[in-house]
Structure 1
Amino acid sequence: MDLLRCIIVDDEEGAHRVLEHFIGQVRYLEMAGSFYTALDAMEYIYQNNIDLVFLDINMPGLSGLEMLGAMSSRPFVVLTTAYKEYALESYQYDVVDYLVKPFDFKRFLSSVDKVMNRMGTKQIAPQESITTDYLVLKVDGAMLKLKFEQILYTQSYGNYVKFFTADGMRLSQITTAEVENKLNPKYFVRIHKSYIVAIKEVSTVSGGEAILFNGTRLPVGNLYRKTLLDSL
């Protein structure tokens, strides 16, 4: 069996000691690096072959989830955190498991077993090809899973984005650039600095407007017009 090259990313010394001890007891795990900031870990991952990351969420600077959101291709990830409330949000990044501190060796082994099972799947379908069909958004203090198929269009609103669906509007603190990166470009296109639209919802493009099947009229920026027309 090939060794799984692991790294630890956590800002707490105690967490490093526990994970290093656990990793050292599993003969098919190899400790490849230990980092206290997400940026240092990302740089190392880009330059080295890493199979598995044990990643904390709350860290100074770039958080663990922000790190995952910034990476288009990632190793397998097991999140290690003292906070339960990020569990739903974390799974949009296809994490293998979510360990709540403090966890014991048995729970650690359960996560490693899930990684090994996923490794078998990776031989058939690379992890980077796996995509989600939903967004996880913070709306009114709660986490909401919003399926792509529900979204008609989005609109920038200061530091927030409005998500318009057939049954109403949801407001979430996120940027349009972040939304654009998360949505599948096969089904969504940016038509203005403030608007992204579901391609299937566009009925007509006339002048500087996109008219949706429900009658909504959205502005189309000159920079985005050709991309919109090509996508139809």
Structure 2
Amino acid sequence: MEPLHCIVIDDEPIGQDVVVSFIEKIPYLQLGATFGDPMEAFMYLQQHEVDIIFSDIQMPKMNGLELVRSLEKPPVIIFITAHRDFALEGYETGVMDYLVKPVRFDRFVKAVNRTKEYIDMRKQPAIQQVSADRVFIKADGKLIKILLGEILYVEAQGDYLKIVIANETFTTLGTLKSMDEVLTLPKFFRVQRSFILNLEMVRSVTGNMVELVNGKTITIALNKKDELFQLLGIK
């Protein structure tokens, strides 16, 4: 099992010692360093890859919330603090969990196990084809099964893909190029740079627009129109 690298940030030595003792009891956690000064932790994070930060919030010079906001791509954060008032603001920064001192070991383990599940899932491919007719995608923090025949269309949106089926829409990391390998002719067709559509879901074609059964209209690229018509059997 590949270890998860972590650091501890707490200006109180006793707080550090408790978290370190908990980490040492969990085989898949590997402690990289401890810090009493968040600024020193910030400098460390510029040079080292870390999976999890265990951090106090109320500290001098820079508090834990400010540290997280200062990181361009923060690791998973678990706040450990005596100040309950920061809980809501802590969750709004996207932290994984918020533990209130004194922390019980069983509560610590629960937070860490949840974090491990999240990191393991994040490392998996965003789109996994498991058979000829279905894929699993990572969306909303879980793996979701998508039957290819139910897809109306897939739209590229920057680094993400919007996958639309009859009654639901899912967003996942990915490119249309990766979907080209899954959604193949003759059933699926890339009608323009940003869209792949299910030809069985086409209701009508008007000029350079195609309408799907859900009412969605998509522009046809000029260099794709003849091929689309041929696939639809239109003369």
Structure 2 length as normaliser, TM-score?
0.52
Distance between the aligned counterparts of 2:79 and 2:62, measured in 1? Answer: 15
Mapped to 1, the partners of 2:125 and 2:66 lie a distance apart of: 25
Alignment partners' CA distance in 1, 2:119 and 2:67: 22
**How many angstroms does 1:95 deviate by?**
0.5
**1:125/1:54 Cα in 2 relative to 1: closer, same or farther (>3 Å)?**
farther
Q: Out of 8-17 and 87-96, give the one that drifted further.
A: 87-96
Secondary structure (helix, strand or coil) at the match of 1:74 reads coil
One-letter amino acid of the counterpart of residue 70, structure 1: S
Inter-partner Cα distance in structure 2 for 1:82 and 1:24:
22
Distance 1:91 1:115 in 2: 14
Query: Residue 49 of structure 2 corresponds to which residue in structure 1?
Result: 49
Aligned residue identity for 1:114: R
- CA shift at 1:34, angstroms? 0.3
1:61 paired residue number: 61
Task: Name 2:33's counterpart in structure 1.
Answer: 33
Match of 1:83 in 2: 83
The Cα offsets for residues 26-70 of structure 1, whole Å up to 9 and x where unpaired, read as 111111000011110011011001111101000001000011111
The answer on 1:8 being equivalent to 2:14 is no
SS of residue in 1 equivalent to 2:114: helix
Runs of 5+ unmatched residues, structure 1: 131-232
Find the residue that maps to 1:60 and give its secondary structure.
Answer: coil
Q: How far apart, in 1, do the equivalents of 2:28 and 2:55 lie?
A: 19
Q: Structure 1 length normalisation: TM-score?
A: 0.53
Matched position secondary structure for 2:11: coil
**Residues 191-232 of structure 1: CA distance to partner in whole angstroms, max 9, x if unpaired?**
xxxxxxxxxxxxxxxxxxxxxxxxxxxxxxxxxxxxxxxxxx
Is residue 100 of structure 2 the alignment partner of residue 100 of structure 1? yes
Q: 1:93 to 1:124 in 2, by over 3 A?
A: farther
% identical equivalent positions: 34
**Hey, what does 1:214 align to over in structure 2?**
none
1:170-207 CA deviation, whole Å, 9 max, x = no partner? xxxxxxxxxxxxxxxxxxxxxxxxxxxxxxxxxxxxxx
Q: Which runs of 5+ in 2 are unaligned?
A: 127-138, 140-235
Q: How many residues end up aligned between the 2 structures?
A: 128
Deviation string 1:69-120 (CA, Å, 9 cap, x unpaired) is 1112101110000011111111222101000000111011011011111113
